[in-house]
Amino acid sequence: MTIDASEVKRLRDETGAGMMDCKRALQEAGGDRAKALDILRQQGLATLQKRQGKAAQEGIIASYTHFNGKVAVLVELNCETDFVARTEDFKNLGKELAMQIAMTNPRYLQKEDVPPEVLEKERAILRAQPDVQSKPAAVQERIVEGRLNKFYEQTCLLEQAYIRDDKRKVKDLLNEAAARLGENLQIRRYVRMQIGETAGE
């Protein structure tokens, strides 16, 4: 089928993918832009998985200061090349992540960073809840593990809902940017400071 050039351009502007990739995706999707978007996303994520082992040692330190000057964030965002580090797309991602951290104050970067003793304490609290106690032991553990996901969503940056679109997680935002830019992207570390807080809070 013939694909209108304006639709190809629109899809390219939206995804950052190459013109021919956008045209092929639209042809495969029968002209349906939403389906074409899914095709491009899947292709991008497949490429991204191949790149996961690549070293991400370039990047930027992005910052955000709240309008009242009482909350500030620094976040180190890494990529593979200086070329990508200098793109507006990459810099904007850094700003978005810094703003996310300022607004949500995550305690950890990812699930794997939660100390075992913190997880065990959280499990104990969840097991002690009356609606869990009333269930058989095997069911209790399934409920506890399910509710632990809520804990991760509140405390781990990559598991949090993105502040501008709660249907996407921060890790989705990172993966989508990595697929667009064609490089392995990683959040290395961050620090959030708030007036009146003491170290370790």
* Domain coverage including residue 160: 58-109+156-194
The mean-pLDDT minimum among 35-39, 142-146, 173-177 falls in 35-39
Assess whether 9 and 37 both reside in one domain. yes
User: Would you state the pLDDT for residue 43?
Assistant: 67
Whichever domain contains 166, its CATH number is: 3.30.479.20
Assess whether 14 and 26 both reside in one domain. yes
* Residue 78 near residue 138, CB atoms below 8 Å: no
In the chain, how many domains are there?
Answer: 3
- Under the banding of pLDDT at 50, 70 and 90, the label for residue 66 is very high
CA distance 163 to 36: 26
Determine what percent of the chain is predicted with pLDDT higher than 70.
88
Predicted TM-score (pTM) of this structure: 0.69
Q: Reduced to 3 states, what is the DSSP secondary structure of residue 196?
A: coil
Assess whether 129 and 149 both reside in one domain. yes
CA distance 154 to 24: 39
